[in-house]
A and B are shown apart, each in its own frame.
Chain A
Amino acid sequence: MTLLTIDNLEKHYGGVHAVAGVSFSVAIGERVALIGPNGAGKTTCFNMIGGQIRPDGGRVLLAGEDITGAPSRALFRKGVGRTFQIATTFGSMTVRENVQLALLSHAHRALGCLSDATDAAAEEARALLAAVGLESQAARPCDQLAYGDVKRLELAMALANAPRLLLMDEPTAGMAPRERHDLMTLVSDICAQSDLSVLFTEHDMDVVFGHADRIVVLDRGRLVAQGSQEEVRVDPEVKRIYLGESA
């Protein structure tokens, strides 16, 4: 069953054709990696799916529903979670408050003026933090966390709306070697437990080959190859533009 369909996506910047007719899909429960050299259009493509950039052409469908150009906050309501290349959390709040706010927002209670935010959704917040292994750090200000833990916290927030689809832009960038493996294992476990689909961009090939069910390769705004790990590994074009000759 297809969850996300990317249909002929287009984006121009001035004279540059950043994304030129890219189409692919993500099935329910599938983990898909989007890879390619810098400037291949990965980030642009990703941000068009995630609602940060409006496409010039093409469509994005979520379970058959057209979500092209919908802002990120609307996608959240439709069950899409998002993490960023440079992990961003609300630095002035504690770890628990970050997750509580995401939960409050999911419950349409983020504009409340009278209740105390720190009392809200305590049990759900605890469960989410436990799921990403941050339970013991719940009371810490989140700008004092190690970077790997910031990434985990971001993941917890992205899971607050019980998403169908998780969009992760370079989920392991800037992390220590050990943390990379742990974070992606965590994501894979969550996928295995539910029908969560994941679309992620990544430069670390260990992560890609360790955690992607399928790989989509972009170069110069075009889709060059897609398929299983084995198919992509031996694809001569992919070797030439990205993986390198010595493979």
Chain B
Amino acid sequence: MTMPAADALLQVTDLASGYGRAQILYGVGLELRRGEVVALLGRNGAGKSTTLKTLMGLVRARQGQVTLLGRRIEGLSPFRICRLGLGYVPEERRVFAGLTVMENLEVARRPARTGAPTWTPQRLFELFPNLGRMRERRGGEMSGGEQQMLTISRTLMGNPLAVLLDEPSEGLAPVIVDEMARAIAELKREGLTILLSEQNLRFATAIADRAAIIERGTIRFTGTMAELFANTEVRDQYLAV
């Protein structure tokens, strides 16, 4: 095992988890350095979402370690993990359908945190101008793309150090995907660290610094995007069909 880099924000070692009798993750290892965007690539069912959920404490880790800024967080409840600076944007968006945009943001509001960008609804509406025009709209009455913007904004209200983004381009129209890519690039400029689970390789390429490929619950490759494209074997085996 390699030593963690000095600037490691999130360190994951030998993580295993699953649902009931079905084991999904078999010893996942990952590292997230401060300020970088890492794309977790893999097919549906490869274990991307389960990895993020396990990091967030929503699925119990059966084995392995998760370290956030030197502090062990596996086994903590989700709200503690969130308060320690990890934000989670779920794949199904899960906006509160009966709550307005402003109320959705209010649920997640946390005090400012040193070392992380501080967000207010105002700043988020600059990032996603569409949202600013529908502050009193209820979550259930928004389109998929609008909900995706809301669910990202909501997580940012907790002023996280790092965000786990689960397939933000999923099921969105291409034009919205472009807007999402622009917004995530903007977040990166703000200094936010991001772990991005994605199937859309083009989307991932546009914003990620490094990639990790997960297949059947195990990380099969880690490297820069350039390394990924240079490695035809890996591309053919795990990303291609």
| Chain A interface (Cβ < 8 Å from any Cβ of B) | 37-39, 143, 145-147, 150, 170, 173-177, 203-205, 209, 233, 243-247
Contact = CB atoms under 8 A, between A and B. Distances in A.
27 contacts: A37-B171, A38-B44, A38-B170, A39-B171, A147-B21, A147-B22, A147-B23, A150-B21, A173-B45, A174-B18, A174-B22, A174-B45, A176-B23, A176-B216, A177-B216, A203-B45, A204-B44, A205-B241, A209-B241, A244-B200, A244-B240, A244-B241, A245-B201, A245-B202, A246-B201, A246-B235, A246-B240
Contacts of B19: 174
B30 interface: no
Given A203-B43, A203-B45, A244-B201, A175 B241 contact: no
B84 interface: no
Contacts, number: 51
Q: Taking each of A38, A170, A205, which has the highest tally of chain B beta carbons within 10 Å of its own beta carbon? A: A38
Contacts of A174: 18-19, 22, 24, 45
A174 B44 CA distance: 11
A247 B240 contact: yes
B98 to A, nearest CB: 15
Nearest to B200: A244
Contacts of A143: 21
8 A-B pairs with least C-beta separation: A203-B44, A174-B22, A39-B171, A147-B22, A147-B21, A177-B216, A247-B241, A203-B45
A20 B239 CA distance: 30
A244 B21 contact: no
Judged by DSSP, the binding face of A is loop
Q: Taking each of B18, B23, B44, B170, which has the highest tally of chain A beta carbons within 10 Å of its own beta carbon? A: B44
Contact of A205 (B20, B21, B23, B43): B43
Given A147-B20, A174-B45, 17 more contacts: A39-B170, A143-B21, A145-B21, A147-B22, A174-B18, A174-B19, A175-B22, A203-B43, A204-B43, A205-B241, A209-B241, A233-B241, A244-B201, A244-B239, A245-B202, A246-B201, A246-B235
Contacts of A233: 241
B34 to A, nearest CB: 29
A143 B22 CA distance: 12
Contacts of A204: 43-45
A164 B239 CA distance: 36
A245 B199 CA distance: 11
Nearest to B239: A246
A146 B170 CA distance: 31
Contacts of A38: 44, 170-171
Contacts of A173: 45
Contacts of B23: 147, 176
Given A145-B21, A150-B21, A177-B216, A243 B170 contact: no
A232 to B, nearest CB: 10
B206 to A, nearest CB: 12
A204 B170 CA distance: 17
Contacts of A203: 43-45
A246 B199 CA distance: 12
B214 to A, nearest CB: 13
A149 to B, nearest CB: 9
B201 A146 contact: no
B45 A146 contact: no
A233 B229 CA distance: 21
B48 to A, nearest CB: 12
Nearest to B20: A147
Contacts of A37: 170-171
Nearest to A15: B143
Contacts of A176: 23, 216
A232 B23 CA distance: 31
Interface string B183-207: 0000000000000000111100000
Contacts of B21: 143, 145-147, 150
A169 B91 CA distance: 21
A173 B21 CA distance: 12
Interface string B145-162: 000000000000000000
A38 B168 CA distance: 13
A240 to B, nearest CB: 10
A244 B170 CA distance: 13
A143 B21 CA distance: 9
